[in-house]
Structures are given as C-alpha cells and as structure tokens.
Amino acid sequence: MGTIDANFAGETVVVTGGSSGIGRAVATGFGDAGATVINADVRAAPKDVDAETPTHEVIEERGGTAAFVETDVSEPSQIESVIEAARGFGGVDVMVNNAGVHRSLEFLDVAPADFEFVHGVNLGGAFFGTQLAAKDMIDRGVAGAIVNTSSTTAERAEWNHSHYAATKGGVQMLTRSAALELDRHGIRVNAVAPGPIATEIREGWAGEARSAIEESEGLPSRAGTPDDLPGAYLYLASDAASYVTGETVWVDGGASL
C-alpha cells in the first residue's frame, strides 16, 4: 500500500495528554512531520509499559523541536499558559485536545466527584482548549486547525462508561458547534473517535481491550494500537482536509459495524 507524506514544517502543534498512549503517538507523528510540538500533560513521564523516554525528548532525539509544559487541562488558566508557551514558538497553528481520563463505574455508582473529575478533563479541557487556541489563532490572523479526541462511546453505549461516554458525546457536539462558529475565522474543527485502543488510560485497560477482542467474533479483528491513530489527526490538521470541518472520523477497526 502507498504512503502519505505530511509536512508541518514551520508550524507549532499543541497536543494535550501527549505523554502516553494516543497522545504520545500523535505528538511524535507531528514531530516526524516537521512540526514544533508542545506536549501539555500533567506529567512528562509516559505511562505506557513499553516507553521510558518523555515524548518531547523522543521528538528531539529524532531531530525535531519539542517542549513539555506541565498542564492540568481541567484548569483553563493552565491551558492559557500552554498557549502562551506556544507563542514563544510563533503561536498555535494546530491544537489537538486529546487529554482524557476514565473511571470504570456502573451508572448507579458514579459519585459527583467522579462525574466532575472526568467531565473537567475530557469535556472541559476540550472546550477551553478549543476556545483558547481559537482566540490565539484569531489574534494572529491564522487559519488554524483544531482536532479533538472523541470516542466511539459518544454514540455507542457500553457498560461502566456512562459518565465517560457523556463527555465524549459532548466533545462530538462541541466539535460541530465550534466548527460552525469558527468557520468565519478560517478555523476548522474536527474530531477523531478511536475505538478499542490498547492504552493505559486506566491501569489494566490495554490488556482488557486485547482480551475482549480476542474472545469476540467479527470486527475488529484485533485491538488497535496508538500507532493506528496519528494518520487521522495529521490528515484533519492538514491542507488535504481544507474542506473538512465539523466532522468526526471514526478509527475503530470496524467495531461500529
């Protein structure tokens, strides 16, 4: 099969939650494509069992430019700090709102603290990440791109996912609403909805995802890996998607079928 070469040289990309899992793969993907990458995460050290080197250092080792900014995306003021840091590299051209958390709880067991924690990171982080990045782009007269991380649970109910799925449904509608209002500024807003990806979004989840798929019949034929995701993000952020906005691209190995 052929390959597509993305070129983001001269552009600055902010990836929230870029230390591990999907965010790490997306951040390094943009780095490999020539972008200056800022990883905005609560910690630099990766959670992935097969990774030790922080994301920004990996990008630098490959000859790229990157930085880490300690960031809790549930606090808008900290997102503002990331945007300000990006100004030191010319300002945000692409914003990837990927940071996410998950707590596996049955609907009747979700406490207000659980609800607020998951919503603050998953939906609040994406909302204010989109808003603050857009303001920076508008101030600088940049026709930028924003890509949010949703989930197939935005439209497909699963056990123990009620509060998490609610945030991802919110991210999907945020993407559409922001795309509608930001279009006049030349800013495109899209989302990627990963399916069963073997990451450590919570301890043990990678193994659970693999086991569940191995025991099932039909699609997907395997659990996805973080490396299955960057192509969708790079496409949506690129000029190749200049006529695409308000869309959610599902990357799920056919699970939604």
pLDDT, position 235: 98
Mean pLDDT (the chain, rounded): 92
Within 8 A by CB and 6+ apart from 21, the residues are: 47, 48, 197, 199, 200, 201, 226
pLDDT, position 2: 76
pLDDT, position 51: 87
Cα angle value 231/220/222 (rounded, 5°): 80
pLDDT, position 200: 62
**Is pLDDT of 124 > 80?**
yes
Domains of the chain: 12-251 (3.40.50.720)
For residue range 167-186, what is the model confidence (pLDDT) as tens digits? 999 999 999 999 999 999 99
CA pair distance 252, 254, nearest whole angstrom: 5
Inter-residue contact 14 to 95 (CB < 8 Å): yes
Helix (H) and strand (E) counts in the chain:
8, 7
pLDDT, position 210: 56
pLDDT, position 84: 97
CA pair distance 210, 252, nearest whole angstrom: 13
pLDDT, position 208: 59
For residue range 218-247, what is the model confidence (pLDDT) as tens digits? 667 777 889 999 999 999 999 999 999 999
Strands, E, within 65-144: which ranges?
A: 65-70, 94-97
Token representation of residue 178: 């922001």
Residue 201: band (very low, low, confident or very high) from pLDDT cuts 50, 70, 90: low
For residue range 135-164, what is the model confidence (pLDDT) as tens digits? 999 999 999 999 999 999 888 888 988 999
Helix (H, G, I), strand (E, B) or coil at 110: coil
Averaged over 198-226, what is the pLDDT?
65
Looking only at the bridges linking them, the beta strands covering 145-149 and 94-97 are parallel
pLDDT, position 131: 98
Averaged over 13-24, what is the pLDDT?
97
Does the annotation mark 164 as catalytic? yes
DSSP-assigned letter for residue 227: G
Q: Which residue has the higher pLDDT, 33 or 224?
A: 33
**Is pLDDT of 82 > 60?**
yes
Residue 23: band (very low, low, confident or very high) from pLDDT cuts 50, 70, 90: very high
Inter-residue contact 20 to 46 (CB < 8 Å): yes
Averaged over 189-217, what is the pLDDT?
69
For residue range 89-117, what is the model confidence (pLDDT) as tens digits? 999 999 999 999 998 999 999 999 999 99
Indicate which residue of 164, 233, 235, 243 is catalytic: 164
For residue range 51-74, what is the model confidence (pLDDT) as tens digits? 899 999 999 999 999 999 999 999
